Structure 1
Amino acid sequence: MTHNERRLASDLAKLGVEQGGVLMVHASLRAVGPVDGGPRAVVRALRRALGPEGTLVVPAFTPENSDTSPSFRDRVRGLADEERAAVKASMPPFDRATTRAPSVGALAETARLTPGALRSAHPQTSFAALGLRAGRIVGGHSADCHYGEQSPLARLYDLRAQVLLLGTGYDTCTAFHLAEYRVPRAPRRLYRCVVSRLGGREWWEYEDVDLDDGDFGALGLDFEGDAGAGNVRRGLVGSAQSRLFRLTDAVDYARRWLPEHRRGARGPE
């Protein structure tokens, strides 16, 4: 079955996407199924469901420009030192206007490239936004804060944004990362990526929270199981089994869950 923009927008409205609201989306277009007009039609459907005063937010992450990321470790596994050095030398610096984000999927890339979209400045974990509150959400993203208080996630929390998992699971739920920053004495580590400086190319190292999404699937299922009636809405969007919930609910739940389930994590004092 081939879906269309109007039907997808209707599915989104039935699921509970709010007119005039703020919506962060993680999507699998393969799960949605064939759509007349392709990814652009899905972006239009999302914006149609949000209405003229709504704001669409997507990840625009670029782990490809870092030598401390899992994607880099996978890429160089088994290579000799000289080959690893050659890979690093070939990695282009981050440019928020031109750097692609292939790891986040076709929907997010299509939204990022839509005229009027704004992108935050973090060289590894930028976000893109379209709509009335885009500037407020992506502005001020500190280059040494992936997902914390100086990131778009904190702005989305303040705005009580909704999160849509469009054919994806909780393992993709970036919102849970904000809770990692809100656990007292969160462990930290060094990150490194290549950036543009004074027209040239430079490696930059910074310290931030030690992020771990390995248990987000389990965290999400517990969140859904414990959520009150209607707090996690499930339904089909196109052919995709989807979930919709409030970002504040997910973050607040994860803030309580993480200290109880992660070895070495500590709760409030």
Structure 2
Amino acid sequence: MPTAACLTADLRALGVGNAMTLLVHASLRSVGPVPGGGPAVLRALRGALGPGGTVVVPTFTEGNSLTSRTYVRMTQGLTRSQLLSYRENMEPFSAASTPSDGMGRLAEEVRAAPGAVRSTHPQTSFAALGPRAAGITAGHALDCLLGERSPLGRLYEEGAYVLLLGVGFETCSAFHLAEYRQPGAVRRRYDCRVMTDDGPRWMGFVDVDLDDSDFGALGSWLESGASGGRGPVARGRIGAADSRLFPLRWAVDTAADWMAAGRTAPRSLPAEADRA
């Protein structure tokens, strides 16, 4: 059973270093049992990064949205009155208190940690710990889910790295930044419920129609096809978790080229989501 110190050694062997800014997607189940659980894994990450390092995690939320896969799934078959009741009782997003949805235990450990800072986007927020946390999470524009005016844009500027800790490329949110850089990117309407000083209110905006359905194929190409298989993807084990570490800027730039060279049109949600 690996200790936090063992995990720190594994992270350093993979290439995580002092003062690095690290975007982490993680499955703690893949790491295996660790004394101390999630807090110990977070300590291991911060130990590998040192006091000058910053750890960043996605803390996305879908339950407050009228245009999400969660909403479509939860409202299928409802009558009009049931649908209205469901909408009226949806929890509004609060950056200070709303848990992330489907992002894993480590994301929640970071979000709830003392000193953590979270961006305020009601659907695609990020939380961060470390000296660069405030700058990375500031200014997350409502009409920029995962583009230049989101924490991904700041991470690109910072020269951050991506750590896939026991998860595949399918989860790599950095690839979405490449979508924003495609000429003529398809756009759609989003609607979500947000807590304000005046109480809950609905907010709508238009932004890029995000599509992660081919991220697995994109990641496989990055790892084996890009640069003749000699790209900067380091692979190793963190505890029991097969993991990868690579530069975010390289991943975004190379993904943008891959998308421009022949990606099919983004997949849209069912039409009823947009009309909701």
Normalising by the smaller structure, the TM-score range is over 0.9
- Residue matched to 1:263: 264
The whole-number CA distance in structure 2 between the counterparts of 1:168 and 1:85 is 37
The whole-number CA distance in structure 1 between the counterparts of 2:215 and 2:262 is 11
- Residue matched to 1:155: 154
Aligned-residue offset at 1:162: 0.6
Q: Does 1:60 align with 2:59?
A: yes
Identity %: 53
Equivalent pair of 2:223/2:231 in contact (CA under 8 Å): no
The whole-number CA distance in structure 2 between the counterparts of 1:260 and 1:252 is 13
Letter in 1 for 2:254: Y
- Residue matched to 1:37: 36
Segments of structure 2 that go 5 or more residues without pairing to the other structure are 267-276
Q: How many residues align?
A: 264
- Residue matched to 2:225: 226
Letter in 2 for 1:213: D
The whole-number CA distance in structure 1 between the counterparts of 2:196 and 2:15 is 44
The whole-number CA distance in structure 2 between the counterparts of 1:141 and 1:234 is 31
Per-residue deviation, residues 44-76 of structure 1 (Å, max 9, x unmatched)? 100000001000000010111101001111111
- Residue matched to 1:235: 236
State which drifts further: 82-91 or 204-213: 82-91
The whole-number CA distance in structure 2 between the counterparts of 1:84 and 1:3 is 48
Per-residue deviation, residues 161-195 of structure 1 (Å, max 9, x unmatched)? 01000000111000000000011121110000001
* SS of structure 1 residue aligned to 2:59: strand
Aligned-residue offset at 1:96: 0.4
Equivalent pair of 2:222/2:231 in contact (CA under 8 Å): no
Letter in 2 for 1:187: V
Structure 1 segment 158-197 matched on structure 2, within 5 A: 158-197=157-196
Give the root-mean-square deviation of aligned CA atoms.
1.2
- Residue matched to 1:245: 246
Per-residue deviation, residues 71-124 of structure 1 (Å, max 9, x unmatched)? 111111222222222221111111100111131111100111000000001111
Aligned-residue offset at 1:201: 1.2
- Residue matched to 2:274: none
Equivalent pair of 1:102/1:109 in contact (CA under 8 Å): no
Segments of structure 1 that go 5 or more residues without pairing to the other structure are none
Q: Does 1:7 align with 2:6?
A: yes
- Residue matched to 2:76: 77
Letter in 2 for 1:181: Y
* SS of structure 2 residue aligned to 1:63: coil
The whole-number CA distance in structure 2 between the counterparts of 1:105 and 1:4 is 20
